[in-house]
């Protein structure tokens, strides 16, 4: 790690940094890596091997350093580059006169958020953002960053004058926030969808509650400590899709302590697999019942959408559980995908009869 140097990006290095970022992220996410305007780069043996892209947000005289992207070239993972890069990037941003530092990270991206936590950041709730930055400041942070469209993303904050309270402690409080957020989004969509709206909203919330309970039961197969957490990112995307479909904000069960082991990935995968299995059973039952009831129809349609989301293990669907199952066992993921596709086809055929 002594050979790693971190410096400001020089003119002409923008293309190289962007290419590394596109390699570091997979699938849909790689398409969003921008050509950097401001960045710090990690250099090893004269070669750029990682970068932190940043910008500054100003609100009512307060300056916030926002970490837009942080990544290490996949060829150089495991060398401690990320540890050095994050630490020096945080130090650099503080020296720019910032009152606070912020970042958004996907819920299961442990390699990234663990480094933020080690460098003084806290994972914060939306009310805590309001408390720290005011309502106007919260809106600035929410819409001047990808947080408003970041499905499964969580906000991280570091304060110059001390640690920032999380506001995300307590499973009961987080379950309530998760259900309330989705209820508000569904209620807003009800202004535009009058047909079977109450049946739709009831089925939507019922499936969320069933998912919470099933996930909790799944955690009982593990000796780990677990907590439920609501992810505040992506509300804008959810609001738009709910006008014509069903797309909830993310809430999930998370271990209190993470580790990079097969047993850990198994525990995550088992919980997600059980959640999927119960969802599959619900959808098949609605198809077999074949009722004209608005409640049953809505339950079948929404469960089919939720099954579809779980089939896709990449962003913006990975937080629905498919990625956890794939990381645990590829055969289990293949079975889940095959049966989900079959159930969705069965539902479509049943609706046409």
Checking if the pLDDT of 11 tops 70, the result is: yes
pLDDT tens digits for 205-214?
999 999 999 9
Q: Band of the pLDDT at 253, cuts 50, 70, 90? A: very high
As a whole-number percent, the residues of the chain with pLDDT over 90 amount to 58
- pTM for the model: 0.89
Checking if the pLDDT of 66 tops 80, the result is: yes
Checking if the pLDDT of 353 tops 70, the result is: no
In a domain, 197, yes or no: yes
Per-residue pLDDT at 60: 86
Phi, psi of 221 (to 5 degrees): -80, -5
β partners of residue 214: none
Both tokens assigned to 285: 């039952």
Per-residue pLDDT at 315: 84
The DSSP letter of residue 298 is H
Other beta carbons within 10 angstroms of residue 63's beta carbon come to 15
Per-residue pLDDT at 193: 64
Read off the CATH number of the domain in which 74 is found: 3.40.630.30
In a domain, 38, yes or no: yes
Same domain, yes or no, for 38 and 82? yes
Checking if the pLDDT of 191 tops 70, the result is: no
Checking if the pLDDT of 287 tops 70, the result is: yes
pLDDT tens digits for 228-237?
999 989 988 8
Q: Which residue, of 159, 193, 226, is where some domain finishes?
A: 159
Checking if the pLDDT of 2 tops 90, the result is: no
In a domain, 296, yes or no: yes
Per-residue pLDDT at 94: 96
Per-residue pLDDT at 316: 84
Same domain, yes or no, for 346 and 254? yes
| Residue 40, helix vs strand vs coil | strand
With 0-12 CB in 10 A as exposed, 13-18 as middle and 19+ as buried, what is 259? exposed
Same domain, yes or no, for 176 and 142? no
In a domain, 166, yes or no: no
Q: What string of DSSP letters covers 212-245?
A: HHHHHHHHTTSSS-EEEEE--TTHHHHHHHTTTS
Per-residue pLDDT at 3: 85
Cα atoms in the 13 Å half-sphere on the side-chain side of 119: 25
Contact 196, 294 (CB under 8 A): yes
Average pLDDT, the chain: 89
Phi, psi of 102 (to 5 degrees): -140, 160
DSSP E strand stretches across 174-295:
226-230, 251-255
In a domain, 328, yes or no: yes
Higher-confidence position of 28 and 111 = 111
| Residue 111, helix vs strand vs coil | helix
Checking if the pLDDT of 56 tops 80, the result is: yes
- In angstroms, the CA 330 to CA 335 distance is 9
Q: How many domains are there within the chain?
A: 2
Higher-confidence position of 324 and 296 = 324
Same domain, yes or no, for 66 and 192? no
Contact 246, 204 (CB under 8 A): yes
Domain containing 250: what range?
Answer: 171-352
- In angstroms, the CA 78 to CA 193 distance is 50
pLDDT tens digits for 87-100?
999 999 999 999 99
Checking if the pLDDT of 200 tops 90, the result is: no
Checking if the pLDDT of 31 tops 80, the result is: no
Same domain, yes or no, for 341 and 311? yes
Contact 165, 202 (CB under 8 A): no
In a domain, 219, yes or no: yes
β partners of residue 233: none
How far, in Å, are 34, 39, 146, 264, 334 from residue 105 at the CA level?
Answer: 17, 18, 10, 20, 27
Both tokens assigned to 282: 């619900």
Same domain, yes or no, for 230 and 101? no
- In angstroms, the CA 110 to CA 118 distance is 12
The pLDDT of 71-75, averaged and rounded, is 92
Same domain, yes or no, for 144 and 217? no
Per-residue pLDDT at 55: 95
Per-residue pLDDT at 227: 94
> Which contiguous run of DSSP H or E holds residue 199?
helix 197-219
Same domain, yes or no, for 315 and 235? yes
The pLDDT of 148-166, averaged and rounded, is 88
Q: Band of the pLDDT at 259, cuts 50, 70, 90? A: confident
Per-residue pLDDT at 79: 87
Checking if the pLDDT of 303 tops 70, the result is: yes
- In angstroms, the CA 301 to CA 283 distance is 8
In a domain, 165, yes or no: no
Q: Band of the pLDDT at 321, cuts 50, 70, 90? A: very high
Same domain, yes or no, for 222 and 152? no
In a domain, 28, yes or no: yes
Both tokens assigned to 286: 């609605």
């Amino acid at each position: 790690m002594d050979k790693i140097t971190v410096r400001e990006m020089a003119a002409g290095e923008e293309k190289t940094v962007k290419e590394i970022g596109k390699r570091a992220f997979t699938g849909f996410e790689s398409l969003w890596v921008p050509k950097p305007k401001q960045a710090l780069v990690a250099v090893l043996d004269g070669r750029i091997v990682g970068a932190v892209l940043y910008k500054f947000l100003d609100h009512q005289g307060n300056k916030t350093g926002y970490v837009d992207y942080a990544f290490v070239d996949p060829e150089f993972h495991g060398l401690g580059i990320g540890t050095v890069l994050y630490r020096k990037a945080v130090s650099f941003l503080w020296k720019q006169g910032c009152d606070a530092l912020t970042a958004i990270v996907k819920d299961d991206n442990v390699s990234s958020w663990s480094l933020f936590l080690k460098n003084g950041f806290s994972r914060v709730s939306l009310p805590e953002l309001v408390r720290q930055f005011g309502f106007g400041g919260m809106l600035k942070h929410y819409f001047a960053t990808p947080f408003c469209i970041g499905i499964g993303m969580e906000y991280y904050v570091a304060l110059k004058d001390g640690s920032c309270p999380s506001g995300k402690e307590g499973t009961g409080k987080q379950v309530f926030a998760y259900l309330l957020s989705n209820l508000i989004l569904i209620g807003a969509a009800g202004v535009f969808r009058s047909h079977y709206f109450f049946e739709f909203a009831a089925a939507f919330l019922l499936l969320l509650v069933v998912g919470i309970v099933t996930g909790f039961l799944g955690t009982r197969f593990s000796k780990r400590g677990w907590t439920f957490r609501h992810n505040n990112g992506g509300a804008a995307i959810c609001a738009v899709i709910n006008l014509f479909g069903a797309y909830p904000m993310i809430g999930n069960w998370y271990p209190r302590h993470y580790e990079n082991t097969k047993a850990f990935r198994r525990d995550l995968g088992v919980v997600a697999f059980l959640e999927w299995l119960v969802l599959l059973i619900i959808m098949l039952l609605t198809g077999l019942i074949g009722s004209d009831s608005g409640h049953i129809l809505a339950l079948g349609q929404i469960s089919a959408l939720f099954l579809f989301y779980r089939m896709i293990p990449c962003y913006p669907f990975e937080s629905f559980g498919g990625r956890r199952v794939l990381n645990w066992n590829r055969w289990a993921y293949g079975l889940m995908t095959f049966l989900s596709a079959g159930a969705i086809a069965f539902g479509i055929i049943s609706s046409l009869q």
